[in-house]
Chains A and B, each alone.
Chain A
């Protein structure tokens, strides 16, 4: 019990002392997760709309692929990306390996299927009369899609939250393509793993608390945004 109590005391000490390294890791983690979530949702939400509302050849297969990708192991994404970005890989010339951009790229690959699959489910949950009514009142396809999105805003917000939650907490890909380089690619999850293996339980716990607080803040922010518009 002392071990846990000491760890918690050290964690609170680090948090309140404003340890620059701890907060630097937190900031980088938030930046990577935010960039990856924005890119993944910018591509994934329209893809979800397309999958849900437009019949096209191979649509069912595409939905199956996206749903399967939800369960894609993060280490496997890291491994594949490592193969592409390593010096001998086809994208080795970009020199992206062991950069925060590489971690963000891995996170985009992980978050895209979440955004696409949950958006598709969100759109499929909207009464089809909404889109028909928008069209018959003279709305073009974009305005009609926006009208549908407004009706599905809670489910779409849940898709964004799920995507952010997944990438901020993932470790497999970040460890492989980021390399856990101090001050450059060390994220909260990779730092927690390292601290735990080095026996610094207090630091690991402090980083874990920050991770939880970050996830909580993003969820609260999204809920506030949803709450602004009633029916």
Chain B
């Protein structure tokens, strides 16, 4: 198990990561989601022992992770390939481990087949597309058979089909051998398709709410009643907070009431819009609607049926000002 404990990390004195505890259990599939600049990449570099935290420790099975670095590998966002062919790139980590030529050849064949790279083994980096470079980088990481594979925005340069193929390959690899995969992504949809263990990162901290409906805002300051109306996309969200200035707003999807018509209620936030997507997952449905900004509500299958909700249907989202988290 890979874990960060009591970690604070600073760049030039600025706190960029502040985590009491972050675990990547054995054989798990973890997704870290958050805005650009939320600390995802820094977190992955700490987990990969490429940087040491300013405070706190990173451990692997109870031992300092720096000593176990060969068991963890990271594929960075926009990865680089080394000089040489795809075959030489995939073999790099195995050569670094002094493996025999026959074993290297076998392993290169195995992972290149898994990632659909067999036809590209003789090519050099300038002969590859961005998506192919990404797949080669993942194959290069899988070739060394790490215990933990860290991926930073693996679908950033891939289309939907390529991204699904990549996640499928990772699932196959996890079924074939003990492997934990931790993916940082800003694409919630991909994350939800791939795993249930989703952790939201905002401003370097783990967010206490489901990582949807997160908005970077500028708080104008409260009125006499402690309420403030914050511009988010094309709507103004009522929030109870005494903070001012830059902040993150989080609207927990479970706190959003869904109806076909506005209901008389105490909710200060009532927005009409159209359903854009229904994502079915264990325990219910994540309903996305464009209400001036994209919002997600968590509802049951039964409610979805009763309200006859489908993409394009009119819908009203209501939630209380006090339900909106500010941090």
Chain A positions within 8 Å of B, measured between CB atoms, are 127, 129-130, 132-140, 143, 147, 150-151, 229-231
Contacts and interface: CB of A to CB of B under 8 A. Distances in A.
Interface of B: 45, 48, 50, 69-70, 72-74, 76, 79-80, 82-83, 92-93, 96-97, 124-126, 137, 140-141, 144
Given A129-B80, A150-B82, A151-B83, 19 more contacts: A127-B80, A129-B79, A132-B45, A133-B79, A135-B50, A136-B74, A137-B73, A137-B96, A138-B69, A138-B73, A138-B93, A138-B144, A139-B92, A139-B96, A140-B96, A150-B83, A151-B82, A231-B83, A231-B126
A178 B140 CA distance: 55
A229 B83 contact: yes
Contacts of A138: 69-70, 73, 93, 96-97, 144
A149 to B, nearest CB: 10
A154 to B, nearest CB: 11
A6 B137 CA distance: 65
A-B residue pairs, 10 tightest by C-beta: A137-B93, A139-B96, A138-B96, A138-B70, A136-B74, A129-B80, A138-B93, A136-B73, A150-B83, A132-B50
Nearest to B44: A136
Contacts of A133: 76, 79-80, 82, 137
A112 B12 CA distance: 33
A132 B46 CA distance: 12
Contacts of B126: 231
Nearest to B150: A136
A147 B80 CA distance: 12
Chain B contact residues: helix, strand, loop or mixed: mixed
Contacts of A231: 83, 124-126
A136 B137 CA distance: 12
28 contacts: A129-B76, A130-B80, A130-B82, A132-B76, A133-B79, A134-B92, A135-B50, A135-B69, A136-B50, A136-B72, A137-B73, A137-B96, A137-B140, A137-B144, A138-B70, A138-B93, A138-B96, A138-B97, A138-B144, A139-B92, A140-B96, A143-B96, A150-B82, A150-B83, A151-B82, A231-B83, A231-B124, A231-B125
Contacts of A137: 73, 92-93, 96, 140-141, 144
A63 B125 CA distance: 33
Contacts of B69: 135-136, 138
Contacts of B73: 136-138
Contact of A147 (B45, B70, B82): B82
A230 B140 CA distance: 21
Contacts of A132: 45, 50, 74, 76
Contacts of B50: 132, 135-136
Contacts of A129: 76, 79-80
Contacts of B140: 137
Nearest to B143: A137
Contacts of A140: 96
Nearest to A137: B93
